[in-house]
Amino acid sequence: MRLGRCPAERARPVVVALWTAALVAGVGVVAIWLRLGLPRPICRLRAWTGIPCPTCGSTRMIEAQLVGDLLGAAAWNPLVFAVLVLLGLWLVLRGIRSLFGLPAWRIATTRNERRALLVLGLALVVTGWAYLVWHGVGGPVG
């Protein structure tokens, strides 16, 4: 892997704004949903098979985050929690870069490195899913 600067045309502050808006809107919808006392979404995979899906516990994770219980949030779904934290950090760093006009950076990878990253990503999803199955985390089944 090599770290290098992006060409000027690749730096797009609009992308940062859209991702930030999507993240804030998603959390906002969950916050309003829970504030209104509406029922949590039903996990269809768990309802059909009894096995939680890889994102089970995410609604309760966000609910725990909204009240400031970060350890409890991480326990509901560690993989989704980590992805959201990393996405938030990425958005903050991209926003700072865009705000101050700093150069963009990218990581160049070879085909074998991309394959290895794909295998690592799949292993993380399987590990996160195994955690949910082992700890009995899951959404309501009806």
Q: With contact defined as beta carbons under 8 Å apart, do 132 and 124 qualify?
A: no
User: How large is the average pLDDT for residues 25-41?
Assistant: 85
In-domain check, residue 140: no
Q: Say what the pTM is.
A: 0.77
**CA 111 to CA 34: how far, in whole Å?**
44
Q: Higher confidence at residue 77 or residue 99?
A: 77
Q: With contact defined as beta carbons under 8 Å apart, do 30 and 105 qualify?
A: no
For residue 64, pLDDT beyond 80: yes
* Total structural domains within the chain: 1
In-domain check, residue 56: yes
In-domain check, residue 31: yes
Q: What is the pLDDT of residue 78?
A: 94
How many angstroms separate the Cα of 125 from the Cα of each of 47, 94, 103, 117, 122?
20, 26, 32, 12, 5
pLDDT tens readout for residues 83-103:
989 988 988 888 788 778 777
